[in-house]
Structure 1
Amino acid sequence: MSTRMLLQLLATLLVLPYLFPIVVMLQGALSGRGWGNFRAVLAIDAVPTFFKSSAIIAACTIVIVWALTMAAAFGFAKLPVRGKEVYFWLMVVALTLPEVVLLTPLFATTVHIGLYDTYGAVILPLAAVQLPFTVLLARNYVAGIPDQLFEAARVDGAGALAAFRYIVLPMTRPIAAAIVVLVLINSWNDYLLPLVMLQDPAKQTVTLLPQYFVSQFSNDQTKVLASAVITAVPEIVAYLCLQRLFERGLAAGALK
């Protein structure tokens, strides 16, 4: 058996554990009334509001994480910042803190500063939780940019801001695409923060949509699964659109 066939077999075996739940979810969503389950979910008046809230939270989180990640990666990788290695590893330590551990202090802080029941109460913690990992990826990618480019820019009179704009941003599009996809998935799928931080029904997100079909007296699993499939569509579309850049950026950010 050739090496290529062995790799294909290994890839298939690795995919199967992830593919099986998806197949089960689709089968459950189409059982009973079939496509009528999807129509029943989309007929709920709150669905457009849920998607709007999730889109606002995801878009704002992506912008914040992308801007801060690129700036921090440039500083950690290329700028002569005093003690930057200490700051970097202190930030990496934050990767060990799960979101649920931070929930109580985050809730108390948002109430104290008046952000409770606003989009900011979800967006800012979501961005903060994801920044350590995205900076870790982007720093490795930016470190792989040749120093000669920055030296040539300095000879031409360009400062750090110009180098960031004309060298770093154009050359980091693959890792930026990977960051966009990762942040979109994490912010779109987040359940805990919207549940705790948002009280107004008009600000609820799509992750709370399945609750419409689960109550004390009913538990319609077909519509729960149909709503799960519907909420996953934007993420799938985003990944397919950015697939090449995502894979290039993720691989380069992990290996450089």
Structure 2
Amino acid sequence: MFEAHTRRGRLLLQLVLTLLAIPFLLPLVWMVQGSLAGQGWKNYTDILALPELPLFFRNSVIIAVLTIAVVYLCTMLAAYGFAKLHIRGREVFFWLLLACLTLPEVVLITPLFTTTLQLGFYNTYWAVVLPLAALQVPFAVLLARTFVAGIPDELMEAARMDGASTARTFWSVILPLTRPIGAAIIVLTLISAWNAYLLPLVFLLDSSSQTITILPQFFVGQFSNDQTKVLAGAAIAAIPEIVAYLCLQRLFERGLAAGAIK
């Protein structure tokens, strides 16, 4: 981590960080300003008065929660196995898993579409949840494995001496100590699942099952391409992500820092 021990160094570091943050803040500022143009706060009240809005939010929440649960469980189990268990060929399996990071989402649409039809998942939440989780797991395992590898082996040996099984050690020793990286995985998965656009658009046929990311298209038709209400809807849709990050900020930063450095 960068540390500044003098007043001049701290001011310089603050200036550099501010300049780096400006390109990311400007789109948010323009979005809020655009959402308040025209009728002002009435743009937000019109959006909140839509009868379809709670349904879209509910669908996004269900998909996000299911995706987080699948990713968290698979990631922690995989990280535990890759970091602490003596599995034959585990490095081969680990690098095969990382190879999945090279596959873009759009390339997988056709095989995923065929698979969901054959399994009967089409137009269900699982048609979106399982692909989203599969795309998120490799990077999450990459972070979590480094974190789990940093847990002292003496703790696991002590658990075994007390008669704990492998599963019990995972539940009682590993999971409590991986809260920081778990928080980072939850936030990253939430952002990915909440902002998913292509998969819900392709795999969710009924309008009643659509997610919050489809709202801009809905607003274009509902309000005759009123961009102020489109921007207001985008601002409302971003609130859950902001709240989740603020609640888990400290654990998120600790998890990323520990997961990136062994």
Question: Where does residue 256 of structure 2 map in the other structure?
Answer: 250
Q: Secondary structure at the match of 2:225?
A: coil
Question: Where does residue 96 of structure 1 map in the other structure?
Answer: 102
C-alpha distance in structure 2 between counterparts of 1:213 and 1:119, whole Å: 23
Match of 2:89 among 80, 83, 94: 83
C-alpha distance in structure 2 between counterparts of 1:139 and 1:169, whole Å: 13
Structure 1 gaps, min length 5: none
Instruction: Give TM-score scaled by structure 2 length.
Output: 0.95
Percent identity of the aligned residues? Answer: 64
Deviation at 1:43, TM superposition (A): 1.3
Deviation at 1:218, TM superposition (A): 2.8
CA root-mean-square deviation: 1.3
C-alpha distance in structure 2 between counterparts of 1:10 and 1:141, whole Å: 29
Which amino acid counterpart does residue 28 of structure 1 have in structure 2? G
C-alpha distance in structure 2 between counterparts of 1:126 and 1:182, whole Å: 12
Where in structure 2 are the equivalents of 1:183-202 lying within 5 Å? 183-202=189-208
Deviation at 1:158, TM superposition (A): 1.5
Instruction: Give TM-score scaled by structure 1 length.
Output: 0.97
Which amino acid counterpart does residue 126 of structure 1 have in structure 2? L
Q: Secondary structure at the match of 1:153?
A: helix
Deviation per CA, 1:123-182: give whole Å up to 9, x if none. 010100100000111001000001111111122221211110111000000110111111
Question: Where does residue 42 of structure 2 map in the other structure?
Answer: 36
Question: Where does residue 25 of structure 1 map in the other structure?
Answer: 31
Match of 2:151 among 141, 145, 148: 145
C-alpha distance in structure 2 between counterparts of 1:34 and 1:225, whole Å: 12
Tell me, yes or no, if structure 1 residue 8 matches structure 2 residue 14. yes
Match of 1:175 among 181, 184, 187: 181
Q: Secondary structure at the match of 1:81?
A: coil
C-alpha distance in structure 1 between counterparts of 2:85 and 2:223, whole Å: 61
Q: Secondary structure at the match of 2:163?
A: coil
Which amino acid counterpart does residue 238 of structure 1 have in structure 2? A
Deviates more, 1:193-202 or 1:211-220: 211-220
Structure 2 gaps, min length 5: 1-6
Q: Secondary structure at the match of 1:118?
A: coil
Deviation at 1:18, TM superposition (A): 0.2
Q: Secondary structure at the match of 2:87?
A: coil
Deviation at 1:193, TM superposition (A): 0.4
Q: Secondary structure at the match of 1:214?
A: helix
Q: 1:89 to 1:104 in 2, by over 3 A?
A: same
Deviation at 1:216, TM superposition (A): 11
Tell me, yes or no, if structure 1 residue 232 matches structure 2 residue 238. yes
Deviation per CA, 1:92-137: give whole Å up to 9, x if none. 0111111111111101110111110000100010100100000111
Match of 1:135 among 127, 130, 141: 141
Question: Where does residue 166 of structure 2 map in the other structure?
Answer: 160
Q: Secondary structure at the match of 2:95?
A: helix
Deviation at 1:3, TM superposition (A): 1.9
Deviation at 1:217, TM superposition (A): 9.4
Tell me, yes or no, if structure 1 residue 120 matches structure 2 residue 144. no
Q: Secondary structure at the match of 2:124?
A: coil
Which amino acid counterpart does residue 201 of structure 1 have in structure 2? S
Question: Where does residue 3 of structure 2 map in the other structure?
Answer: none
Tell me, yes or no, if structure 1 residue 223 matches structure 2 residue 229. yes
Q: Secondary structure at the match of 1:190?
A: coil
Deviation per CA, 1:20-62: give whole Å up to 9, x if none. 0000000000000111001111111110100000000000000
